[in-house]
Amino acid sequence: MKAEVFHLVDVLQTQEAAMLQVEVACRDECVLDREQVLNVIRRAFGRESTANYVKRLDEEGRIFKSIVAIENDRVIGHIVYTLLPVEVDGKPVRAIGLSCLSVDPEKQSLGVGSRLIKHSLPLVAQAGMAAVIVLGHPRYYPRFGFSAEIAQKLKAPFSGKPSFMALELVPNALQGSSGSVEYAPVYLEE
């Protein structure tokens, strides 16, 4: 693993320990968590369609990593990364999408979402990913290093929107004169 990635892992893990305001453990989702995960997504977004979207991502075999936040044996948060073909200057980039982040409404603004991101990004980097793409709140994700500017050159249905952001886990992974993100239909239906 490159030195820059080690540095990112250190920074994120230190921030993660400092920010948490509840006793939460993060671990990979297992089969037994599934119903609780779907409930957290339903409650966080206040609708069924986002839970169905995550189910479809799973059914279509797109999930790269799915992590839960557990408090007292109960799932209170969830983050899922999915495979997302990205190319820059005609060359494939090892990139994934941060496709859904949910925290139970009773546990929001306590650091759980941040913990999930800071726990998972180093794992994603260690797994060899060079970049992460997100379509999300422009006031939330920049604190973790996501930037609309980095995503600007990538052609996608969301190009140019402030909510379309990217994070380079490997420096300059997305630098080039042009590039694109290929969204499968499931991403566009949510």
Ligand X SMILES: CC(C)(COP(=O)(O)OP(=O)(O)OC[C@H]1O[C@@H](n2cnc3c(N)ncnc32)[C@H](O)[C@@H]1OP(=O)(O)O)[C@@H](O)C(=O)NCCC(=O)NCCS
Alpha-carbon gap, residue 105 to 176, rounded angstroms: 40
Q: Identify which of residues 16 and 168 has a Cβ nearer to ligand X in the complex.
A: 16
Stretch near ligand X under the rule CB under 6 A, chosen from 27-35, 99-107, 118-126, 180-188: 99-107
Distance CA 62, CA 65 (A): 9
The C-alpha angle 9, 12, 13, rounded to 5 degrees, equals: 80
Which range touches ligand X (CB under 6 A), out of 10-18, 100-108, 123-131, 153-161?
A: 100-108
Asked whether position 14 contacts ligand X by CB under 6 A, the answer is no
Which two three-digit tokens encode residue 155? 């052609």
Binding segment for ligand X among 104-112, 123-131, 144-152, 153-161 (CB under 6 A)? Answer: 104-112
Can residue 47 be called a binding residue for ligand X (CB under 6 A)? no
Among 36, 82, 102, 120, indicate the residue that binds ligand X (CB under 6 A): 102
45 near ligand X, judged by CB under 6 A: yes
Could you say whether residue 101 binds ligand X (CB under 6 A)? yes
Of the candidates 112, 144, 174, 142, the residue with the CA atom closest to the CA atom of residue 11: 144
Residue 114 near ligand X by CB under 6 A: yes
Phi, psi for residue 106 in degrees, rounded to 5: -70, -15
CB of 178 to ligand X, least distance (A): 26
Which range in 29-37, 82-90, 133-141, 178-186 contacts ligand X by CB under 6 A? 133-141
Torsion angle of the four alpha carbons 93, 61, 26, 147, in this order, in degrees rounded to the nearest 10: 30
Question: Minimum distance from CB of 138 to ligand X (Å)?
Answer: 8
Residue 122, helix vs strand vs coil: helix
> How many other CB atoms sit within 10 Å of the CB of residue 143?
10
Binding residues vs ligand X (CB under 6 A): 44-45, 101-103, 108-114, 136-137, 139-140
